[in-house]
Amino acid sequence: MTRAALDVSPLVGRPGLRLAGEVSLSTHTTWEGALESLPAMGRLPCLELAAVTFVDVAGTAALALTAQRLGNGRRIIVDRPPPSLLRTLETFWSGLAAIEVTG
């Protein structure tokens, strides 16, 4: 059995992070560290998730909490999220204006 991995790298040309892998119990520390860095990246930081295969409910909750804490009309752009993240956002945080899904 292989352990899940989550790789994080800065985006080029815009504020934000590119992630690859999955967000699950074994990668929550990495995910939460990435989320904690977003508020310092400006008004509209982006999470590019095209290479993320899965985000569990706890990972989605951490994203929602980070977005809610931004305040002042700021939001997180979530680009090309996996279906698991979309389903959980739609189920529990459908009215959360601090997260903008693109792609």
- What average pLDDT does range 92-99 have in this prediction? 93
Confidence check: pLDDT of 25 > 90: yes
| pLDDT above 90 coverage of the chain, percent | 89
Judge whether 24 lies within some domain: yes
Please report whether residue 1 resides in a domain: no
In the three-class reduction of DSSP (H, G, I as helix; E, B as strand; rest coil), residue 91 is classed as helix
Residue 45 lies in domain: 6-102
21 closest CA partner among 102, 82, 76: 82
The total number of structural domains in the chain stands at 1
pLDDT digits (tens, 9 = 90+) for 29-42: 999 999 999 999 98
0.95 exceeded by pTM? no
* Mean pLDDT value of segment 72-84: 94
Residue 70, domain member (yes or no): yes
Does residue 43 form part of some domain?
yes
Q: What is the CATH number of the domain that holds 43?
A: 3.30.750.24
What pLDDT, on a 0 to 100 scale, did the predictor assign at position 72? 82
Flag whether 83 is in a domain. yes
